[in-house]
Chains A and B, each alone.
Chain A
Amino acid sequence: MSQPKTKKETQDLFELYRQMLLIRRFEEASAKAYSMGKIGGFCHLYIGQEAVGVGAISALEEKDYIVSTYRDHGHALARGLEPKSLMAELFGKKTGIVSGNGGSMHFFDKKKNFMGGHGIVGGHISLAAGIAYASKYREDQAVTLCFFGEGAANIGSFHEGMNLAAIWKLPLVMICENNHYAMGTPEYRALSVKDVSVRAAAYDIARDHIEGDEVRKVRDHVKVAVERARRGEGPTLMEISTYRFRGHSMSDPAKYRTKEELEKYKQGDPLIKAEKDLIGSGWATEDLSKLDETIAKQIEEAVDFAEKSEEPPLGWLYKHVYAENV
């Protein structure tokens, strides 16, 4: 794939590049704010994995659903959630996407069918199956996309969710973002297989496996799975190989891996790759630096907004423990 061939393809790549860059800068700003003590709790960054979230989510329609993990910033931004309200959520402000109730791991946006960041490894997989189940129940033609890490592929709820999705032929696309580590555990110490997608055979469903460094390639492959799901042909289990450049979370110095390994993967940085492809296809470098500026400003505004927003009022403590019965 690599270099776009037509003007349309180039513009398309530029838009995907814009989203990836937005995520990268958002995450850098998060890291900075975290080090300054402005963000609390766990904070799992998405730097290095941008092509997966952006590529996959760009394969969806508006009516489709996304279910994410605690590493949800990138997915939320790719879905078009506002950087301002996401940053404000990280800062624990009332203007946050869930008014300070969730923090880094629990972004939700009903309007965008962004069905949450979930903090229990693998627990969200059966929720995703349930959302897909509702689509089948209602025949609304929506597809649910569920992200998870290779670490989650070893927990019971992954297997139960896959089996249920398979027997009921649910419109579900399961994307294992294999970044090769579950916290400090490398995949070879935890996984019985080298490629999570081969487990599809156990459920007799479709599978796919790709490298996740080229955003348009990711989109094209995910599209195939999404269309299969929409046709009623059931779930797909995909593994998209990627790498996180930072530790598992902000509190992890990532001493379990070598500098050489990190450097090797940085050579395949999806952002640099997309940039090179854009330039190679004749995209003006001034346009790229203009984009850089625009995004820098957007992030600056988001941080400023988060900083200046108020904390939620104490009277909200008990709000939303229970839903109102109407």
Chain B
Amino acid sequence: MAVLTYREALNRAMTEEMEKDPNIFLMGEEVGHYEGAYKVSQGMLAKFGEKRVIDTPISENGFAGVGIGAAMVGLRPIIEFMTWNFSLVAIDQIINSAAKMNYMSAGQFPIPIVFRGAGGAGGRLAAQHSQSFESWYAHIPGLKVLAPYTPADAYGLLKTSIRDNNPTIFIESEVLYGSKGEVPEGEFSIPMGKADIKREGTQLTIVSWSRALMYVLPAAEKLAKEGISVEVLDLRSIRPLDEEAILASVRKTNRALIVEEGWNVAGFGAQVAYLIQKDAFDYLDCPVERITQEDVPMPYAANLERSSLPSEEKIINKVRSMIK
């Protein structure tokens, strides 16, 4: 098995798909000559040329719309947002055009498009550059929302997204681009809507995804040393959601904690908590709990940023209090 970085895995997925299908092109700011603000498209301009790896001016609303229009007539664009923070300028196109087109046209115009780019919090980027928007996009019927944690998932899910005939919101974690992991040789894809059990356990289920797992997994490790057995579920796919996997795990462990990097109010974890209380209520030994980002814009100061995010310590303390 090859060890790849998260960014290399994404690059490999796009490259392989583009080699197969001439209808696929990559478009965004700095994706071509600069090879990507986060170097995800390294080497792609040289390989595919300017027709298929297209640098755009800074005009997110404009090029998101261009991608959607092109998808209306059968092309399969991959639109890179330098970071998801700037997707807000294009959110009208994503929600009002991409997500609705197939429905409004009664199935005449599916939009096979992938919107992808760097998301998530951290790196002392402060209020406007350090945000998690999974919950925002998951709110919208017509969109699919993916947030992979490992390089192998990044590869397999990006392939599935590119092949999907629907608009996909593919949120990569800025902090994870350099992280390494084993990616099986040869081609494979991972279906959407399938959570991954990252660690088996018996006493409590932690539901999480993307970068938040960086806190969850070591916390679970430490808790194991204390004799507390935690099961960790990586959703990978926010919409569609693997409801069965969540319920099966909670029915086994009888306790659930959701850890997410986004904000608490109307965050996606609230949806997961609702699902659990609705369909696994009788199995619960304590209330479902959540750990989220604090309810503030991201501060710049290192200590404040740290304290606003989920952490190993917060998770360990919360789990201890739930097991008691």
Contact = CB atoms under 8 A, between A and B. Distances in A.
Given A127-B72, A130-B67, A160 B104 contact: no
A163 B65 contact: no
Interface stretch (A44-52, A74-82, A295-303, A314-322): A314-322
Contacts of A116: 101, 104-105, 109
Contact of B107 (A163, A323, A326): A323
B57 A164 contact: yes
B93 A101 contact: no
Contacts of B93: 123, 126-127, 157
Contact of B65 (A98, A102, A129): A129
A205 interface: no
B157 to A, nearest CB: 14
Contacts of B59: 160, 163-164
B37 to A, nearest CB: 19
Contacts, number: 146
Contacts of B75: 134, 137-138
Interface in B67-101: 67-75, 92-93, 96-97, 101
A131 interface: yes
A130 B68 contact: yes
A58 B282 CA distance: 67
Given A126-B66, A137-B25, A323 B110 contact: yes
A9 interface: no
Interface string B160-172: 0001111000000
B63 interface: yes
Interface in B242-288: none
B70 A131 contact: yes
Interface string A152-171: 00001100110110010000
Interface in A274-326: 319-326
Interface string A179-195: 00000000000000000
Nearest to A67: B69
Interface string A97-133: 0110110001011100001101110011111111111
Interface in B90-147: 92-93, 96-97, 101-112, 141-142, 144
Given A160-B59, A160-B61, A163-B57, A321 B102 contact: yes
Interface string B20-31: 000001000000
A323 B106 contact: no
Contact of B108 (A109, A129, A131, A156): A109
A156 B144 CA distance: 27
B317 interface: no
Contacts of A160: 59, 61-63, 65
B177 to A, nearest CB: 28
Given A137-B51, A164-B56, 7 more contacts: A123-B97, A126-B62, A126-B63, A127-B69, A320-B103, A323-B166, A325-B164
Interface of B: 25, 51, 56-57, 59, 61-75, 92-93, 96-97, 101-112, 141-142, 144, 163-166
23 contacts: A67-B69, A102-B104, A108-B105, A119-B96, A120-B92, A124-B97, A127-B66, A127-B93, A129-B66, A130-B71, A131-B72, A134-B69, A134-B72, A134-B75, A135-B73, A160-B65, A161-B62, A164-B59, A321-B102, A322-B142, A323-B110, A323-B166, A325-B165
